[in-house]
């Protein structure tokens, strides 16, 4: 299967680390992304028999459902749009709950693609004199059509991380776990994930029937919290960062031996 790209730019997305994660995956029947975000690993990996992506962000999971079930209607929302600060501010001022699901999906996609640094919490309009906008209005149908096909057999959940792990934990399940980075817990909004959640997550993963791969930034706190599992240091580059060309250290954490 040809590798695909995620249709989204995403703070903390794994576009550059996905290949290293995929090559370390063990055999499995069910694949579950607990903190999906832009779901780069899902879009780049071969299909598993059963696949689930989950995220606590309701606007994100609504976008994925609309891409999966209402592609034509979603694409039509962009017919007369422009990439501009005024359009960005208009979308930002609209309360999502006052919109239809398809309108909400278009709003979220527009803001995610045009915000500075792909920020979803308190986003600001992104513009540069050296690069075109990430949102190409002439290629939206092509871009989202690829995602529509890839999501056709994927289950989409909008649950807290502990609930989705408990729901799908089986001996044949592989979880990919990509929580907020240590030290950046509030980047996705207040009350979404806290420093205390790392220890709670470690406790949940310690009792798994299935297998998991966890990716995080390489910090002393991460190494101490997940010390009971196998760790492997890796290098990557952040695709949305002032230091995008500098290699940074991350750790992949596992509850199984290497392939």
CB 122 within 8 A of CB 112: no
Per-residue pLDDT tens for 57-75? 999 999 999 999 999 999 9
- Candidates 235, 224, 232; CA nearest to 198 is 224
Token pair, residue 60, equals 């994100």
**pLDDT class of 219 with cuts at 50, 70, 90:** very high
Q: Tell whether 55 is in a known binding site.
A: yes
pLDDT tier at 119, thresholds 50, 70, 90: confident
7-36: pLDDT as tens digits: 887 665 577 899 999 999 999 999 999 999
**Average pLDDT in the chain:** 89
What fold characterizes domain 58-152?
Adenine-specific Methyltransferase; domain 2 (1.10.1020)
**Tally of CA atoms within 13 A in the half-sphere of 180 that contains its CB:** 22
Tally Cβ neighbours within 10 Å of residue 199: 13
Average pLDDT over residues 161-188: 93
Q: Which two tokens stand for residue 189?
A: 């909004």
pLDDT higher than 90, residue 48? yes
Is 241 a residue whose pLDDT tops 60?
no
Task: Give the relative orientation of helices 161-168 and 195-206 as an angle to the nearest 10 degrees.
Answer: 10
* Mean pLDDT of the region 244-249: 66
Asked if residue 178 belongs to a known ligand binding site, the reply is yes
* Region 221-249 average pLDDT: 79
Q: How confident is the model at residue 233 (pLDDT cuts 50, 70, 90)?
A: very high
Name the nearest CA neighbour of 13 among 119, 131, 165, 85.
119
What tokens appear for 193 in the block? 């994930």
- We find that the CATH architecture of domain 1-56+159-259 is 3-Layer(aba) Sandwich (3.40)
Has residue 174 got a pLDDT over 80?
A: yes
Give first-to-last CA distance, the chain, whole Å: 21
* Domain range annotation of the chain: 1-56+159-259, 58-152
pTM metric for this prediction: 0.90
Would you state the pLDDT for residue 89? 93
Classify strands 211-217 and 50-54 as parallel, antiparallel or unpaired.
Answer: unpaired
Same fold, 1-56+159-259 and 58-152: no
The answer to whether 10 is a known ligand-binding residue is: yes
187 is in an annotated binding site: no
């Amino acid at each position: 299967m040809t590798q695909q790209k995620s249709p989204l730019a995403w703070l903390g997305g794994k576009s550059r680390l996905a290949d290293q994660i995929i090559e370390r995956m063990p055999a499995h029947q069910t694949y579950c992304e607990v903190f999906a975000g832009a779901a780069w690993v899902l879009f780049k990996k071969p299909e598993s028999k059963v696949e689930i992506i989950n995220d606590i962000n309701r606007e994100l999971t609504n976008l994925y459902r609309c891409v999966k079930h209402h592609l034509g209607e979603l694409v039509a929302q962009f017919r007369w749009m422009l990439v501009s600060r005024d359009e960005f501010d208009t979308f930002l001022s609209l309360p999502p709950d006052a919109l239809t699901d398809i309108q909400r999906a278009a709003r979220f996609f527009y803001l995610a693609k045009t915000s500075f640094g792909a920020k979803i919490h308190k986003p600001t309009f992104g513009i540069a004199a050296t690069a075109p906008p990430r949102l190409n209005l002439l290629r939206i149908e092509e871009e989202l059509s690829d995602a529509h096909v890839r999501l056709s057999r994927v289950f989409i959940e909008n649950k807290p991380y502990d609930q989705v792990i408990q729901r799908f934990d089986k001996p044949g399940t592989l979880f990919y776990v990509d929580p907020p980075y240590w030290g950046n817990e509030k980047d996705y909004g207040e009350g979404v994930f806290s420093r205390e959640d790392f220890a709670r997550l470690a406790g949940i993963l310690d009792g798994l029937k299935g297998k998991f791969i966890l990716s995080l930034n390489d910090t002393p706190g991460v190494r101490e919290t997940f010390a009971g599992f196998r760790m492997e240091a890796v290098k990557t580059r952040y695709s949305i960062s002032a230091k995008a060309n500098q290699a940074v250290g991350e750790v992949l954490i596992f509850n199984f031996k290497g392939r």
